[in-house]
Amino acid sequence: MMTIVAHRGYSGCYPENTMLSFQKAVEAKTDEIELDVQLTKDHQVVVIHDERVDRTTDGVGNVRDYTLKEIQKLDASKAGNGQFSSQRIPSFEEYCEWASGQPVVTNIELKTGIVYYPDIEQKTIDILEKYQLVGKVMFSSFNHLSLVNAKQICPEIPVGALVGKNGIVNAGFYCKKFGFEFYHPSYEALDDEKVKEIHDHGILMNVWTVNGMCELEKLQRWGVRGVITNFPTVCRAYVRGLGL
């Protein structure tokens, strides 16, 4: 059965990367939640996608220039177009405390492709260990060195190499060589030949961002492991409709 991964929580209908979007994703019976982590000025792990707070909150500036206390004063409901009550940027610790009691796996994207946050891998893993979540998570990143770092610290956490629409050549070979369990391509990065090469190397694929029926149909035929979607309810209904 295809795994449903709620991208930034249930971000198609709720403010992304907020506790509200995560709670709604669980209510939608998602299998997994994808979220993004970065570090504040005081080296705390927080859940936010952009390196700046401008798009998703009522604040301005870089995540790395705010302390945790300061960043949590911002309202992260901006992406909801005024439909929702004020939301806080969650600390990763707050998320983990909640997730430890939920029936979901978390796909933690280490946002180190633009700003490299030293020790973000260790800090994130420390929190996962505190909440006994090591067996219920995976890492992903566009910065594959972050995945290598995470693997060195905690080999039992599976990792997935994120790539954009251009993909990478010999992706299956590449992931196998580096010990990455998963390949996380943009949907546009795949075709029949590439999918075969990835399957041939025993690498599982979680594909983003899948919000349409055309993509769902094709990914089902290709036998991908998971779809990373902004609309987990629709994807859940599709998988159920197939009688899987």
Q: Does 43 participate in catalysis according to the annotation?
A: no
Site for ligand G3P in 217-236 (CB under 6 A): 228
Is 184 among the residues known to form the active site? Answer: no
Residue 109 contacts ligand G3P per CB under 6 A: yes
Identify the helix (H) or strand (E) that includes residue 59.
none
Q: Give, to the nearest 10 degrees, the angle between helix 171-178 and helix 144-153.
A: 30
Per CB under 6 A, contacts with ligand G3P among 188-207 are none
List the one residue from 77, 106, 112, 140 that touches ligand G3P (CB under 6 A).
140
Tokens found for residue 175: 């992931």
What is the C-alpha end-to-end distance of the chain, expressed in Å? 6
Question: In whole angstroms, how far apart are CA 208 and each of 71, 76, 101, 184, 228?
Answer: 28, 23, 26, 7, 5
Q: Minimum distance between the CB of residue 141 and Ca ion, rounded to whole angstroms? A: 9
Measured in residues, the chain has a length of 244
Give strand pairing partners of 36.
109
Q: Does 32 bind ligand G3P (CB under 6 A)?
A: no
Q: Verify binding: residue 162, ligand G3P, rule CB under 6 A.
A: yes
Residue from 208, 229, 230, 239 touching ligand G3P (CB under 6 A): that is 208
Q: What amino acid positions are annotated as catalytic residues?
A: 7, 49
Binding site for ligand G3P (CB under 6 A): 7, 34, 36, 49, 109, 140, 162, 184, 208, 228
